[in-house]
Structure 1
Amino acid sequence: MPNKKETALSLLQQCSGASIASISEGKAEASYAPFIWMDDKLYLLISELASHTENLRSSRSCSVLLLEEDTLPSPSRTQRDRFARTRMTLETEATFIPRDDKIWDQALKAFSERHGKTAQLLAELPDFHLVALNISSGSLVEGFGQAFSFKGTHFEKARGVSRR
């Protein structure tokens, strides 16, 4: 059985995109974006046209959900399996990266390797921005009764969550 760090890193590698909950005028707004994992941060390449971009500018706080892929057809998975999918929620703070920052080129290369030529094309458009999501805390759920919390990116120090 993998340790918590292995499970967390596996999810970060397996998931090509993340569900993002940002804040708009005091209300939660859910969205989606492809990401890369680099230097213990999530990076997003997002358009000015997406509502989450303005939300992240206004309130840098956002929550990210990574969910184990559900690749099997419906009849072959039980409802219990879907309720117990491995998932990780990350509480983050967004930082917009200027185009002249050296991180921009490194991240763009990683985006292209992971997500193909489209990432390169999008990055050339003036309304696209690179955003780093710095993780302050998170939780990892590996199934029923298997919930753990951690600070920062210290996945290996995840501790069991007790009933409230």
Structure 2
Amino acid sequence: MNDSENETLAAVKEAYLALIASQQTLMLSTVNAMQQAEISYAPYVQDSQGTFCIFVSQLASHTGNLQRTGNGSVMFIREESKSRNLFARERLIYQCQTKEILRTDPAYDELLNQMQGRFGETVALLRSLADFHLIALVPTSGRYVAGFGKAYDLSLPDGMPVPVMRGG
């Protein structure tokens, strides 16, 4: 790969990281016990390793789905009002493995403090509720679409984009 291609791919990586940073919530896709797809959303924080962490109620179906299957998908997508073409909205989708971060885990308080700093006192209230669970979503593969003909698979864990070949 030449320097120009490396610079282009570095710019693509910057673009999808900016898309993530522009969002306070993630779209969440899970599969229920009847093998039906469900979609939801959740506010999130990201840890230093790029793991997305959500604090969700046991009453929400996606929580049980994540606990039962150990995986889910997340999507970040450019707002419609900021998209030039609605058929080619900029988006990033990760396939993730999930695990619950237990209240006894040292990272639990650190991540919820980060979440409270980002989202305010609602998190303080939710922390006191026993049915809320801190779930880590660890990306295992990803795809970034910048527009028509501009799709990139993401090499994890470094996140470097790899152009998707047509017909592939």
| Normalised TM-score (structure 1) | 0.88
Question: What's the C-alpha RMSD, in Å, of the aligned pairs?
Answer: 1.7
Distance 1:114 1:81 in 2: 31
Distance 2:134 2:72 in 1: 15
Shifted more, 44-53 versus 27-36: the winner is 27-36
Out of 47, 58, 65, the position equivalent to 1:38 is 47
Distance 2:120 2:86 in 1: 30
Out of 117, 121, 125, the position equivalent to 1:117 is 121
Percent identity, please: 33
Distance 1:87 1:23 in 2: 21
Q: Is residue 103 of structure 1 aligned with residue 107 of structure 2? A: yes
Equivalent residue pairs, number: 157
Distance 1:11 1:116 in 2: 22
| Alignment-derived partner of residue 59 in structure 2 | 49
What code does the residue aligned with 1:87 have? R
Going from structure 1 to structure 2, the CA distance change for 1:71 and 1:116 (only over 3 Å counts) comes to farther
Give how far 1:5 is off: 2.4
Q: Is residue 163 of structure 1 aligned with residue 166 of structure 2? A: yes
Check whether the contact 1:12–1:37 (CA below 8 A) recurs between aligned residues.
no
Q: Is residue 83 of structure 1 aligned with residue 83 of structure 2? A: no
What code does the residue aligned with 2:24 have? S
Distance 1:109 1:117 in 2: 10
Unpaired runs of 5+ residues, structure 2, are 1-7
After the TM superposition, list the runs of 4 or more consecutive aligned residues in structure 1 that deviate by more than 3 angstroms.
none
Distance 2:60 2:144 in 1: 28
Give how far 1:71 is off: 4.4
| Alignment-derived partner of residue 21 in structure 1 | 29
Unpaired runs of 5+ residues, structure 1, are none
Q: Is residue 61 of structure 1 aligned with residue 67 of structure 2? A: no
| Alignment-derived partner of residue 141 in structure 1 | 145
| Normalised TM-score (structure 2) | 0.86
